[in-house]
Structure 1
Amino acid sequence: MTKKPTMSDIAVACGVSQATVSLVLNNAPGTRISSATRDAVMTKAAEIGYTTVHRRPDRRPVIAMIINDVTSSPHVAGLIDGVTESANERGLLVSVMPTGGDSDAEQAVLDHLAAMPIAGVIYARLITQQINIPPGLLNVPTVLLNCYTGDRSIPSVVPGDLVAGQTSALLLIKAGHRRVGYIGGEDTIEAARERIKGYRRALMMHDIALDPAIVFKGGWTIRGGYDAFKSIMMVPDPPTAICCFSDRTAMGVYAAAAELGLKIPEDISVVGFDNETYTADMVPPLTTMELPHSEMGRYAAEHLADLLASPRKTSRNFQVKIECELIERQSVKVLDRSGLLPVA
């Protein structure tokens, strides 16, 4: 009995991946596949007698987005929206598979995917972190979203937290503040480590000495921001401005400032981080940094689509950092702009 031709046969003969063959034969819109590759696939399909019996003309290749958490933060919506919007533009469908941070659930997802015709995977984390890639993904086209491997062996995209920390501090320095305090997160959080590095770099750029007395770690909650600000303002020469690890930290600063009889921004300027939905309604509206979750998701899907379209293309794996956007509102007072270097 003659063996029925398969997409794998076409892929081997043309030197491309099965995913590429699927994209061509399904005429998926928005994919970057060269005309030469398309012609080669179609020619080989006709040559070996491959048919698409019972195949729906609108069927699209599916990619899986595995993410550890979809409930604890509104930021996850940006990651998912970015992935799905970009994938749809490239003619790909997305199956979002949350694992709840449970290793057994993740293994069940990987076992399920192994039995399915998945074109590729976006492996995501809600909080930026270094990971060990699951062995089940080593032979599957994969892009890491908001996480990365230590050896950078898998393409990844993360936020530019260091530059964002620098930008928020430079905004205050540009406004004339020379005593800029910092309330950061715990050292166990990578974003906290990166943002305080940026804060320190901004001080160095303007020859401002780092004063540990106005730097507080572990204040990523509302209560943490409240307690940290109370402590910082007890020093003999208190700051005129504060960089906060998160908008929740900034909320704590607002509450503590009110108790101390300080007005924002007249007496103390504040910059937050995250651009939570409530920050525009704070009194005064909070200046903050916005994490680029949607842009990161779009990049991950675009890069995965490129990997599927050109599987034989050789390129080094790398990590891309997406810049965070500064959202300027009314919580920063300009003291003096004279004699300062331009903000980079």
Structure 2
Amino acid sequence: LKHTHYIIVLRHMVCGCPKKCLCHSTSKTVDCRNQGLVEIPSHLPPETLILQLQNNHIWRINQDAFTETPFLKILDLSNNSVSNLSSGAFKGLHYLQVLNLTKNLIHKLENKTFSSLPQLKELDLSSNSILNLPETLGNNTGNITLLSVEYNKLQRLDRLLLESLPNLKVVLFKDNPWQCNCHVIGLKLWLESFLYRGGISDGIICSTPENRKGKDLLKVPYEMYGACPPTAAHVHLANVHHHNSEYRSSLKHTHLNENGESSHSDCEPKSKPRPVSLRHAIATVVITGVVCGIVCLMMLAAAVYGCTYAAITAKYHREHLAPTTEQRVPEGKEPFDSSLA
């Protein structure tokens, strides 16, 4: 009996519920909300599927923090004090599908942060202090369908990151200080293509430069970026028209300063040069006007010719047919006159 008692106590210690948490065996949920926690609690039940850690003071995530919960599917870390995420922060969570990191203090992400989450579908990074995002979120993040980066400090976003998420269905960009300079062309093209394929987005509102502040990126015409210096990397325009019409190809750009360093501040579009597409449009209008003028002249000539022909025909009838009629009338009257005589 003592041996059995020790086994039960040991199992409770290893697989029991943390002191400040509530464990629901039926739903396999562990509720640790509003407990003033500063780190991920230990001794979590290994069968846990949902772990609620929101509204605490957790500021770091150790690499072995979730080794006890390998089957976790939903992890909510919202409204904590997490400022940095190491590449192994979510190690072992091969079945995680939903990760909520909203309302933390995250300012930077490494490109391998989420590599250990091959089943991840929803990633919420909103309401942090993220300045920039890497080119990828990880090697195994292709299943993500929802990505939210709202309410951060993002000024730009590399198109490569979005292209690495082929199953993306919803992406949220709201309330970031987006820079709508030359480098935003790639993002604009991707967004147009994404929406055309049926994706959902709240759009990108420009913060700079001043002449585009408050404008929707999708409504800023490509002609405004005509003076941006190109690079060898071509960016193909998205097919966004209803009749599958294609835009002309555009180019990414960089600009080097005196030290040979990359700089984007000099990529501001200039209003003086007239865009090539505008010149083409003017030429098309001129050619169309000339063709229409020629057609109108031909129609006028045809009308004049028709009127002239009608006048000549009428004159012919008056001069040749009328005298003949007048001569036949007296011949018909002679027998009448002779009979009277």
Q: TM-score, normalised by structure 1?
A: 0.27
Answer 1 or 2: which has greater strand percent. 1
**Higher relative contact order, structure no. (Cα contacts within 8 Å, ≥ 6 residues apart):** 1
Answer 1 or 2: which has greater helix percent. 1
Which one has a bigger Cα radius of gyration?
2
Q: TM-score, normalised by structure 2?
A: 0.27
